[in-house]
Amino acid sequence: MLDAYLRPRIDRPLNAAGRVLARFGIGADAVTFTGLALGLAGAAAIALHRPLVALVLILASRLADGLDGAVARATRLTDAGGYLDIVCDFLFYGAVPLAFVIADPAANGFAGAALLASFYASGTTFLAFAAIAQKRGLSTSAQGVKSLYYLGGIAEGTETIAFFVAICLWPAHFAVLAWVFAGVCYFSAIMRMINGALMLRE
């Protein structure tokens, strides 16, 4: 929901940083994999009961996630790069709730499972529409220049990162926060499903 609002405000500094990295010969894929490694390290820190360390690693990971596209725009956008970016994002998104379940299965298991299922529902509605939109030649730049059609929703990248920050700051309240955000993700998935179906029928 907030991505379309924030993108115009963060693209300029990200693009400037991306041009600097490109001049040093750092490729977009390298930045993508660095972001994934940082995110997975953050998940490992959560599992080891180090939520503040995880918070720093997760924020660094998301900075890298913004920079990989900026580097690609400064050099060359590729389908392979876009594919790797979305795959690494989803690997990271799933790792964080799983880490909370590992850290405390009794307290976090049920809520973590519901949250992961909501991510699955949201991701399915997002990626399925993107595949058919590509087939139809549809495009949008509402959330910035993307390699695939970005069908917006209530729970997007900004909201997910805000949720991850919250659960790292208040890990004892993971279950309650997870149930709330799972509800947001399910609602977002339902709205994406309805909007996507209506767009494809037009």
d(CA 138, CA 172): 44
Res. 179: pLDDT tops 90: yes
Element (DSSP H or E) covering residue 151? none
* 28, 58 contact by CB (below 8 A): no
Per-residue model confidence as pLDDT tens digits over 101-137? 999 999 999 999 999 999 999 989 888 888 888 787 7
Structure confidence at residue 9 (pLDDT):
73
Per-residue model confidence as pLDDT tens digits over 31-43? 999 999 999 999 9
Residues 6+ apart with CB under 8 A from 25: none
Topology of the domain covering 3-201: Four Helix Bundle (Hemerythrin (Met), subunit A) (1.20.120)
Token pair of 110 as six digits: 């049920």
Residues 6+ apart with CB under 8 A from 123: 90, 93
Structure confidence at residue 3 (pLDDT):
59
Mean per-residue pLDDT, 39-53: 98
d(CA 106, CA 39): 24
Res. 143: pLDDT tops 60: no
Res. 30: pLDDT tops 70: yes
Residue 94's identity, in one-letter code, is G
Q: How many CA atoms lie within 13 A of 195 on its CB side?
A: 16
SS3 72: helix
Tally of CB atoms within 10 A around 53: 16
| All structural domains of the chain with their residue ranges | 3-201
